[in-house]
Amino acid sequence: MKTSKTIVILLALVLLTATGAQSAEKPAKKEISNTRTASCLVKITTDPIVLSLNEIAIEYLVSSTGVAGKAAREILDISPDIAHQLFEIKEIYSVFPDSAGFGIPTTTSGVPAFPTTATSRYTSARRTPTTRPATRSTTRTARPTTPTRTPIPRTPTVTQPLRSTTEQTILFRLYVDLNKAEVITAKTIKSAAEEFMIALIANLRSALRGAFDEYRTKFNQQLDLASLEAARAESDLVQMQVELRKISDSRDLSRQSILSDVSSLRQKRQSAMMQMASDEALIEATISRITKEQNRRKELVENDPIAKEFKSIIDVHERRLKDTQKLYEAGRVPAADIQDIREKIIKARIELARRQEEVSNPPGSIVLSSLNDEVADLSIKVTIAQQEIGSLIDQLGEADGLLAKADRYELLSLKADIAKQSLEEALLWHARLGRNIRSIQPPDVTVIGAE
């Protein structure tokens, strides 16, 4: 029994919850305001860079199909073609900030609404509003005629600083009169002037916001394009810088510097070749002198009679040495005789050598040893010069290769400078776009004086 009661209670709760949910999903329809006319003061704050408004633009915008036409169709259930005849826009003022940041009220034609006087910053004057019909025909009741307004002097005032020195503030009076629709259509229109006015303002706000969103979307697209351009320029610049480092290998690839080095290397090579040629010629001349001197001395020694006598003595002693050796071998002479002859031969040779030296190197004659030393020194210098010339030739070949690299380096440097400039421009463009996107303000539509 307890279980059955519990189930019944739960079912009742479920039904009550479902009924409450359905009631929440279908709220009671709000009653209309039962008004035939309505008016209010509308303030539009917009950025003139995004959308610059004037009297004609305001009237066209409010009268458009997306604003008045949509409100007439959704609120009054009438044709959008006559929507523009159900309201009037009066006394439009546009306030632009001056250089000091204070708003200067002007009419949308550009004429200051408050003429400047000598005693105050601004004085006010209002435009003559458009008169409404003096009488209206209606099948229901006749309403009193709305009187035409006359200009009313205003107290001199100074407007407060605006949020942004680039904002434009537009003030206008919106007046809705549904009795015109009955005159035009000859049928009864439901009394929803306030709803129609509120719908007009809501549609106007939506239209301005849509224009702002489209403008901001284009800005964001440009910002994305600037980002892509900056990334591409940065990638190109980095790639070119890497290639430039590879080409230069930490060397100065200035064409003028390389040409100066080439000229210096060629001068050094020419000087080294001339010095080497001079040393080689001097070597040949010195060797020729040495050869001539040696021949001359040889001839002196050969023609010297004393040297000839020493040679004859040596020849005699050598023949005796041969005979004595034979006798020694036969056992007929002692070994001392052979030793004695050998000593004589050695003494004779020493005397011959001394005599030849005296004949070949007389006092005041050329010293062949110094000539030989000079030839050796010159030969070393020639070898060093050959090595230096070879090194200079290698350096000249490397310089020619550097000239070819300099051509490539110069062209690539030019492209790198262009890429750097493109990167700077893209970054500046991106920064300006970002700043502009942050600075632009969305349009704001404020209703003053409406319930």
Per-residue pLDDT, 117: 32
Q: Which of 241, 290, 177 is nearest to 413 (CA)?
A: 241
Q: Which residues contact 54 (CB under 8 A, 6 or more apart)?
A: 94, 108, 109
Task: Tell me if residue 35 falls in helix, strand or coil.
Answer: strand
Helix H or strand E segment including 415 = helix 368-439
443 with 209: CB under 8 angstroms?
yes
Per-residue pLDDT, 147: 39
Helix H or strand E segment including 419 = helix 368-439
CA dist., res. 22 & res. 19, Å (int) = 5
Per-residue pLDDT, 363: 62
Task: Tell me if residue 176 falls in helix, strand or coil.
Answer: strand
Per-residue pLDDT, 133: 39
91 with 180: CB under 8 angstroms?
no
CA dist., res. 242 & res. 244, Å (int) = 5
426 with 230: CB under 8 angstroms?
yes
Q: Provide the 8-state DSSP code for 165.
A: T
Per-residue pLDDT, 204: 92
Residue spans of the domains in the chain: they are 32-218, 255-432
- Do the strands 87-97 and 168-177 form a parallel or antiparallel pair, or are they unpaired? antiparallel
- Written as six digits, the tokens of 149 are 């307004």
**For the segment 98-107, what is each residue's pLDDT rounded down to a tens digit?**
434 444 455 4
Q: Residue ranges of the chain with pLDDT lower than 50?
A: 1-28, 98-104, 107-164
Q: Which residues contact 212 (CB under 8 A, 6 or more apart)?
A: 46, 47, 50, 51, 440, 442, 443
Per-residue pLDDT, 302: 74
Q: Which residue has the tokens 């970054």?
A: 427
Per-residue pLDDT, 144: 39
Per-residue pLDDT, 207: 92
Residue 128: count other Cβ atoms within 10 Å of its Cβ.
11
Per-residue pLDDT, 157: 34
User: What are the beta bridge partners of residue 39?
Assistant: 175
From the number of C-beta atoms within 10 Å of its C-beta (0-12, 13-18, 19+), residue 415 rates as middle
Helix H or strand E segment including 245 = helix 193-248
Per-residue pLDDT, 129: 39
pTM of the model: 0.49
53 with 46: CB under 8 angstroms?
yes
